[in-house]
Amino acid sequence: MLKVRNALFFLGMLFTSVAAADVQIGIGIGLPNANIGINLPSYPDFVPIPGYPVYYAPQVQANFFFYDGMYWVYQYDTWYTSSWYNGPWWAVNPEQVPAFILRIPVQYYIQPPSYFIGWQPYGPPHWGEHWGDNWEQHRRGWNLWDYRTAPAPAPLPNYQRQYSRDRYPQQLQQQQQLQQQHYRYQPHDPAVQQRYQAPAQPQQQRPEGYRQPDTQPQYQQNVMPVPQPRPQGQQKREEEQRVPEGYRQPNIQYQQNVMPVPQSRPQVQQGRDVPREPNREQDQQRGQDQHRDHND
């Protein structure tokens, strides 16, 4: 009987929302930092959820919320977030969705998925039942909180009302500049601060158990270093430090392997060393004299 009553509640809530809605949007599955199909003609009207620091947009045909300075949309088992009401949006890992977004009661989902049927409308969705035990262990205690200690809702960025249709800023850099000029609120939720400070960066999916390294290696260009001249005294000391223990420098002095340059000698000494050219007439006369002495 209770399940039938909850089903009727959801059907009635859905038909009532469709009849009262004056803003229509279409949302599809989108990639990080991509357009997921939201195209609101103007800034939507938000209503605070009693007891929660969260707003919802009852006239928008989507699960459209505002929390801690950012917009949040839940569609087809994926949470998306943006700092502007028409995006661009990027996906948020289920393990990193802020706790107060997870705690939003079922009855404030304008387009509840089919697996919400049977859950209490005044309580949060059964995320652990839907996303599995691994998610439940990672986000243990996400729904344990004191209602009396809930923070106050963040102020709405009403300055964005003047940026509708053709005036809507499409560039992320322009959106950031306008937000810095007109919206001075800073998020308090640690899960929101990272995305609020760098909204242009898409949320990267990390495998389970991934840990960011403490240090990042610095890579150098693969270029041969140019040797720098060193003082002669320093070079000598470095060579002495490389000598192994117990080594004794030999007394042999090595000379450079270069051919010696001949030295010039005195002219007299040079004449002595050069052989004398033979004199044929003197040799012939000396031979005749020897022959004559032999005959005598």
Residue 72, strand partner residues:
65, 81
Contact (CB, 8 A) for 68 and 188? yes
Q: Give residue 199's identity as a one-letter amino acid code.
A: P
Q: Which of 10, 21, 74 is nearest to 45 (CA)?
A: 21
- Burial of 25-37, coded b for 16+ CB within 10 Å and e otherwise, reads bebeebeebbebb
Identify which of 13-17, 188-192, 268-272 has the greatest average pLDDT: 188-192
Percent of the chain residues past pLDDT 70, beyond the cut: 54
Query: Is pLDDT of 105 > 60?
Result: yes
Q: What are the pLDDT digits (tens) for 1-56?
A: 444 445 544 454 444 443 333 444 444 434 556 667 788 999 999 999 999 999 99
Residue 63, strand partner residues:
74
pLDDT of residue 244: 58
pLDDT of residue 95: 93
pLDDT of residue 236: 57
pLDDT of residue 110: 96
Pick 260 or 51 by higher pLDDT: 51
Q: What are the pLDDT digits (tens) for 163-185?
A: 999 999 989 899 999 999 999 99
Q: Which of 68, 66, 63, 67 is nearest to 38 (CA)?
A: 63
pTM summary value: 0.60
| Integer Cα distance of 191 and 178 in angstroms | 23
Q: Give the C-alpha distances (Å, rounded to integers) separating 154 from 104, 146, 189.
A: 16, 19, 11
Q: Which helix (H) or strand (E) holds 71?
A: strand 70-75
pLDDT of residue 147: 86
Residue 73, strand partner residues:
64, 80
pLDDT-based confidence at residue 194 (cuts at 50, 70, 90) = confident
The two counts, helices (H) then strands (E), for the chain are: 9, 6
pLDDT of residue 281: 64
pLDDT of residue 202: 43
Query: Is pLDDT of 111 > 90?
Result: yes
Q: What is the mean pLDDT of the chain?
A: 75
Pick 198 or 263 by higher pLDDT: 263
pLDDT of residue 75: 87
Q: What are the pLDDT digits (tens) for 195-253?
A: 765 544 444 444 445 444 443 434 344 445 555 666 666 555 655 556 556 656 555 45
Contact (CB, 8 A) for 83 and 70? yes
Query: Is pLDDT of 280 > 50?
Result: yes
CA 192 remoteness from chain centre: 18
Min mean pLDDT across 10-14, 48-52, 136-140, 151-155 is at: 10-14
pLDDT of residue 250: 56
287 by DSSP, 3-state: which? helix
Q: Which two tokens stand for residue 153?
A: 């809702």
Q: What is the dihedral of CA 215, 221, 223, 226, to 10 degrees?
A: -70
Q: Which of 234, 68, 91, 222 is nearest to 156 (CA)?
A: 68
| Integer Cα distance of 209 and 200 in angstroms | 26
Q: What is the largest CA-CA distance in the chain?
A: 171
